[in-house]
A and B are shown apart, each in its own frame.
Chain A
Amino acid sequence: MAVLLWVCVMAFLFLVGNGILSILYRREWKEGEFTAADALALGVTAMIGTAEAAHLCMIFAGVSLEVSTALFGGLSAVLLAVSLASVLGKKRRGGGAAAQSQASLAVTWRLQALCFGALVLAQAVLMQVSGNVYLNGDMTVETVGSFLEENGAYLVNPMTGAPYTGGIPLRLELLCLPTLYSVLCRIFQLTPQAVVWGVVPLVVLPCCYCAFSCVGRCLSGQNKARQFFFLLFTAVLLWAGNYRCGLEGFGLWYCGWRGVSIRSLVLVPYLISACLRRKWKLAVLCVMAEACIVWTFYGAGVCLLAAAGLFVCQLAMGRLKGSQGEEAAE
């Protein structure tokens, strides 16, 4: 069931991500602008959005987890249908996010991709075999367990199983990851530990590399060798940086299910690639997704500040370039 869950989630992310891209950029779609990596990374924001809708219904409308699961399923089905229709329409017109990237793969590039794939696979296998998880300051599994047990959100304190005496901060109550994991547990009949510690980090792993590959494409253009080395060194850095909490590698290896890890590994890299390509609509999706999974300053989190920072830097560099151009002309 865990394998089935992984396959279903990856397929959902890919299809819905493709759908969002073709809806958002229907008019200004250019050949080769988006790839499967874009679709997968963007699919994460779609899944978070769907889960947030189901979660808010539980919190504010007081519906049970059962109803929320049905709602999540329904919304996902609608999203999938719209995405498929949109992607098929795009293909008929001669586009498609993933198709174009397959055509021009040289042998060397394939070998390099194989090498990189082996490295990522080794990471995935090691993550599963070691089974090491970092739980300090985290209570996701307990929260998911209490949601499943009580058939609702935050009806008891996840730490004790007793009703709350003082309540819970509203900003924390709005975060949707526990509901997403509970819904997946319900649908696939898996334990919270299997979903949270087992499957989710394995979903975050490829999505993380997809997000980084989007950054790599911005930094390398059409230079495939540079793209390969960029991804290779990203993998090495994520491997090397697993010694301390707060580092991206640590999040990937030991706590991939946490909101802060998903933010650092998927949302922020993808946001950077979106900002570098000036795809501000995609950046907005990342900002919104972060607000749904991480306790932020009233919705203003790392993604918003990074997007603002990159926007200002682009403006500053544009001005600098402009003034240099003027000086040269003079």
Chain B
Amino acid sequence: MTELLKNAWEGWRQLNSGGKLGAVLLAALLFLWLTGKWKEQKALFLYTAVMAVCCIFPVTAAALMLYQTRFYDYEWVWSLVPSTAVAAWACARFVEERPGRSGLSAAALLTGALLLCGGLGYQEFDLSFEGQERQKAEEVLALAMQDVQGERCLWAPRQILACARGWDGSIRLLYGRDMWETSLGAYSYDVYDPALESLYQWMEHTDESGEALWDKGQDQVKLSGEECLRIAVEEGANCILLPGRITQTAAESLAEPFGGQLQTVGDYYLLTL
């Protein structure tokens, strides 16, 4: 419960960290109240005001979070508040009262103010960068998969694995996005074997010699490339992309025991078995 309350409090703060549309809603409610326009749709006004207070106040917000199930985070409780509709209603009433040119100026001014409140280009996530990364990964996948016959089981760095199943649903992975995106764990009761977790740690943290250190709880575990590759092959991987930061010599020595083909694909070494 304490965690839920903390999430509710932090959620409201974070919601207002980038843009200020929360403040726009409160200003709209205030405008409708002070000008008496709320009487045009009393029920909607009352509902919005009550729900907005419930979403802001941590205790009621936590209760709403329980209602919407723990599957969703704090930000989704705001789906209960018709903030866009009420803010647009207030803006429309504000502009409508000013006839002719002053109305148009008010509309332009309000539009500017709303865009300013909306973060104006600021985004919590760099989606265009993610898009470029996805495109690069798909190009690597296309090159890597062209010569693999039959069932394909891939083990690769996470930027490749992240888009592999979306790119081609027939590719099997040793582990998927749910290994590092914990929220995806809610979609199934499956849990990964610790051996697969060590493969993930090695793939993401290996140095140029093919060794990696994994901070497992309070211990530090040393992961060797040979051992990880052996586990991966035993698990069925027949298409392995090794990160380019490993030296050519180290990659060749890692691939040698398996007798597969090693070639360079983009920034990766491709080992096909």
A interface residues with partner B (beta carbon < 8 Å) = 130-137, 139, 141-142, 144-146, 148-149, 157-162, 164-169, 172, 192-193, 212, 215-216, 218-220, 223, 225-226, 229-234, 236-249, 254, 260, 263-264, 268-269, 272, 275-276, 295-297, 300-302, 305-306, 309-310, 313-314, 316-317, 320
Supply 17 further A-B pairs (C-beta < 8 A) apart from A165-B191, A237-B88. Answer: A130-B128, A142-B166, A157-B188, A159-B165, A161-B171, A161-B172, A162-B172, A165-B190, A169-B186, A219-B41, A225-B96, A236-B111, A241-B19, A246-B73, A249-B84, A306-B47, A313-B43
CB of B23 within 8 Å of the partner chain: no
Give the complex CA separation of A276 and B88 in angstroms: 16
A-B contact pairs, 19 of them (CB 8 A): A132-B128, A135-B130, A137-B183, A139-B187, A145-B166, A149-B169, A149-B170, A159-B177, A167-B188, A229-B96, A233-B88, A238-B84, A240-B119, A246-B78, A260-B72, A260-B76, A268-B82, A297-B68, A316-B43
Per the bound structure, the CA–CA distance linking A231 and B21 in Å amounts to 17
* A-B contacts, CB under 8 A, total: 248
Q: Looking at A133, A272, A296, which has the most chain B CB atoms within 10 Å of its CB? A: A272
CA distance A160 to B199 in the complex (A): 15
Question: B188 near A166 (CB under 8 angstroms)?
Answer: yes
What separation, in Å, do the CA atoms of A131 and B131 have in the docked complex? Answer: 8
Q: How many residues of B contact A (CB 8 A)?
A: 78
Q: Which residues of B contact A216 (CB under 8 A)?
A: 88, 92
A211 to B189: give the CA distance in the assembly, Å: 37
Query: From residue A16, how far is it (CB to closest CB) to chain B in Å?
Result: 25
B5 within 8 A of A: no
Question: In the complex, what residue of chain B is closest to A231 when comparing beta carbons?
Answer: B88
Residues of B within 8 A of A295 (CB): 69, 71-72
Q: Once bound together, how far apart are the Cα atoms of A302 and B190, in whole Å?
A: 29
Q: Is the CB of A220 within 8 A of B84?
A: no
Q: How far is the CB of B164 from chain A (nearest CB, A)?
A: 9
CB <8 Å contact, B107 and A243? no
Binding site for A on B (CB under 8 A): 15, 18-19, 21, 24, 40-44, 46-47, 50-51, 67-69, 71-76, 78-80, 82-85, 87-89, 91-93, 95-96, 107, 110-111, 114-115, 117-120, 122-125, 127-128, 130-131, 165-178, 181, 183-184, 186-191
**Contact among A139, A236, A245, A263 with B115 in the assembled complex (CB-CB below 8 Å):** A236
B85 CB contact (under 8 Å) in A145, A215, A236 = A215
Q: Choose among A160, A223, A247 the residue with the greatest number of B CB atoms under 10 Å from its CB.
A: A160
B125/A309 in contact, CB under 8 A? no
Complex CA–CA separation, A161 to B76 (angstroms): 30
Q: Which residues of A contact B47 (CB under 8 A)?
A: 306, 309-310, 313
- A317-B43 contact, Cβ under 8 Å, with A226-B96, A233-B88, A240-B119: yes
Give the distance to chain A from B179, nearest Cβ to Cβ, in Å. 8
**Option from B88, B114, B124 in Cβ contact (under 8 Å) with A243:** B124
Tell me the complex Cα distance, A246–B88, Å.
18
With A236-B114, A243-B18 as contacts: A272 and B85 at CB distance below 8 Å: yes
